[in-house]
Amino acid sequence: MIEIKNITKNFGKLKALNGLNLELNKGECIALIGPNGCGKTTLIKSILGMVLPSSGEILFNGKSIKNDNDYRSQIGYMPQIGRYPENMTIGQVLDMIKGIRKSSEFLDHDLYEQFQIAKMLDKKMRTLSGGTTQKVSATLAFLFKPQVLILDEPTAGLDPIAAEILKAKIIEAKERGCLILITSHLLSELEDIVSQIIFMQEGNLILHKNAEELKATTGQQTIARSIVHLLKTETL
């Protein structure tokens, strides 16, 4: 569904992405992991067209995303730290995005109801706590039933109940056949969702493997341990 062909991104002297090649398919739930500053967010932003790669190309359903923006109607994105116009209320943000998406199909209001957004529609974005902002981001990401979900640290800042609700929603989307791309530092949280692992370091792709396979080859019980095991025993 998404093909990443040899993309490189330089920020001045810093190489944030270094000749990355990836193929992400429908129905996969991929954990994108790696140390801080390894290029995860840059990769996600490149897929979204927010960062323009220095070289290489990204194909979405076989079409290059360069100079295209319609493909984004099939993506739901939940940023790590949602940044919203401070003076707008939650209701206005939702209205505006709905208007832009022009989605005539009926929308997915599950998270809207479960997070009880309706009670807070008149609150200004700047008065919201980090967790509530994340709830709004999550609601927006799932609202339009996208084919692809890109979640950057989705559960960071959410209370345990909200995190469980979101997790259930992610599993539901996975069963529906969506492509889900998650970054998280808390691997234990992703344990039961994830089917593929992508490990990055300093802009390079170190590993792209099936989760079960990874556990089998390293002889470990969990994904977190397998990664640690790999890091300790060999240079990946």
Among 1, 48, 120, 207, binds other proteins (CB under 8 A): 48
Among 24, 34, 41, 71, binds other proteins (CB under 8 A): 71
- DSSP code string of 84-111: --TTSBHHHHHHHHHHHHT--SPP--HH
Among 5, 19, 80, 88, binds other proteins (CB under 8 A): 88
Least distance to other proteins, CB of residue 75, Å: 7
**Distance in angstroms (rounded) separating the CA atoms of residues 117 and 94:** 10
**Distance in angstroms (rounded) separating the CA atoms of residues 207 and 205:** 6
- Count of other CB atoms within 10 angstroms of residue 36: 7
Least distance to other proteins, CB of residue 42, Å: 9
Among 80, 89, 92, 218, binds other proteins (CB under 8 A): 92
Scanning 32-40, 75-83, 180-188, 214-222 for contacts with other proteins by CB under 8 A, the matching segment is 75-83
Q: Contact at 8 Å (CB) between 76 and 150?
A: yes
Asked whether position 93 contacts other proteins by CB under 8 A, the answer is yes
Asked whether position 70 contacts other proteins by CB under 8 A, the answer is yes
Among 17, 51, 162, 230, binds other proteins (CB under 8 A): 51
The footprint of other proteins (CB under 8 A) covers: 11, 45, 48-52, 69-73, 75, 77, 79, 82-88, 92-93, 96-97, 99-101
